[in-house]
Homo-oligomer: A and B are copies of this chain.
Amino acid sequence: MKTVIVKGLGLMGGSLAKDMRPLYPEAEFVGMDAKQSHEQKAVELGLVDRIGTADDFDRADMVVLCIPVNALPDALVEVMDAIHQDCLVWDTGSTKSQLCKRLSNHPKRHQYVAAHPIAGTENTGPEAAISGLFHGKTNIVCEVERSGFEFQERARELFQALGMRIRFMNPDTHDRQIAFVSHLSHISSFMLGKTVMREEQSERDIFDMAGSGFESTVRLAKSSPAMWTPIFEQNSQAVLEALGDYIKHLTEFKNKMEEEQWEELYAEMEKINGIRSILEGIPGTPSAKTKEEIQKQ
């Protein structure tokens, strides 16, 4: 491995570069980002050795794309067109259907692995890059049967070296389910932030009363619109369905409150408490199994 290209030097790309460099100590790490300030910062922080251009693609042994999902399809095709026959390409996009469709008939489709490492923080940019971000997290790989054996294997070894659990899914199922379990959480958080900020305009000091519970539910409202707007757009059908269900459940809760059906609300919340035991299975959460337990699996 002589050259690794990381396209997109934000939280994901930066964190990946940080943890991949020790795995390929002999490789030159070349970075690219739509923002020049990100490029400068990434070199300053030593996340990559130098900044490259499209001319570098044909010498790469691995290209990772960590850019917003609206920019991914065109960028991916550009990379695939340029690479040599031993180069592995993968991406970290949060939607997979459109991307897999777009690549479907590409002559080098077998060199591509469609991945979605479910990891992140609410922070953005190369300064937000942290080591260990992917450790113990789940990585969904889509349409794995379309990737060649050699490329499946190289990607698997890398993901395992980063400490990730690998799960295989088809892209449509991935997009639908991730709408419920990730995309919806972001909208719920953004709108919670909006609701309290609106109130704050008229009532001072309200944020001074906020505790860790509010902070926890509203944390994702700090997320990057540049990343999330394209995700909502690309996955709008599934997100709209999840959001519709959510609004329906909130409205039913409100109606029951108005009708003073307290016993029913009690029973409902008690049932939802069952999520505690389900959440214990989520890696990377305080209640989850330890990394060691996961690695032993």
Residues 108 to 153 of chain A near chain B (Cβ within 8 Å):
118-122, 137-138, 140
Given A181-B214, A206-B181, A250-B243 contact (CB < 8 Å): yes
Given A199-B177, A225-B266, A272-B193 contact (CB < 8 Å): yes
Are A279 and B207 within 8 A (Cβ)? yes
Are A211 and B118 within 8 A (Cβ)? yes
Residue on B with the closest CB to A275? B193
Residue on B with the closest CB to A265? B229
Are A245 and B119 within 8 A (Cβ)? no
Are B258 and A240 within 8 A (Cβ)? yes
Alpha-carbon gap, A285 to B122, bound state (A) = 14
Interface residue count for A (Cβ, 8 Å)? 98
Alpha-carbon gap, A268 to B232, bound state (A) = 14
- Beyond the given A122-B213, A180-B195, A232-B262, could you list 10 further A-B residue pairs with CB under 8 A, ordered by the A residue number? A138-B209, A176-B203, A178-B209, A184-B196, A188-B192, A195-B242, A207-B282, A215-B285, A232-B257, A239-B257
A residues at B contact (CB < 8 Å): 118-122, 137-138, 140, 167, 173-174, 176-178, 180-182, 184-200, 203, 205-223, 225-226, 228-230, 232-233, 236, 239-240, 242-247, 249-251, 253-254, 257-258, 260, 262, 265-270, 272-276, 278-279, 281-282, 284-287
